[in-house]
Amino acid sequence: MVHRMKDSIVKTTPLAALLILMAMSDARAAAASLSPAMEQILAVHNRERAVLKIAPLEWDEGLAKAASAWAKQLGDNGTFEHSTRAERGDTGENLWTGTSGGFTGTAMAEGWASEKADFRYGPYPTRSKPGAAIGHYTQMIWSGSTKIGCALATGHRMDVLVCRYGPAGNVLGEKPY
């Protein structure tokens, strides 16, 4: 089988072509199974990354399951705190909470994206205003983070959103892209 890519020709075996098609199908199926809120959250992330010409994040079910477990724990306990590094390994984490049913996925993620108003490019955690929160936004656009999985849980009349990113961003002293 021969594929044309710009000005070059790439030869692949039928098995390689089948594996490529299966992988593309799996990625489409995973994206198709997202709830509207998760689709919106992923879209906001990838819109912010596209503006900066950073590759889009890919949805990862493993990260989504881990995010779901933490969101459920927060919702059940009525608490709002980050998991420990030991609990989440080499993954980053963004948290959001608000009145149950009162916000779209877009509104949740745009809350994080709004931190770009205080962001100044440079080694993390460079800020344009002293003490300004930028960590949610920088995790969204961190070029070394390539995967995302999020989950929403409800408890104590509040929605809790947890997004996990792999590998983790917001590395002290490093630039986000």
pLDDT band for 32, please (50, 70, 90 cuts): low
- Give a three-class secondary structure readout of 69-84: HHHHHHHHHCCCCCCC
More confidently predicted of 119 and 6: 119
- Rounded-to-integer distance, Cα 44 and Cα 96, Å: 14
Work out the average pLDDT over 145-174: 98
Work out the average pLDDT over 40-49: 98
pLDDT band for 10, please (50, 70, 90 cuts): very low
**Cis bond before residue 125 (omega within 30° of 0):** yes
Tokens describing residue 137: 């936004």
pLDDT digits 0-9 by tens, 75-134: 999 999 999 999 999 999 999 999 999 999 999 999 999 999 999 999 999 888 888 999
Our CA angle for 116, 89, 56, nearest 5°, is 40
DSSP tally for the chain: helices H, then strands E: 6, 6
Judge contact between 113 and 31, C-beta under 8 A: no
- Rounded-to-integer distance, Cα 138 and Cα 19, Å: 34
Q: How many CA atoms lie within 13 A of 162 on its CB side?
A: 26
Our CA angle for 168, 82, 174, nearest 5°, is 30
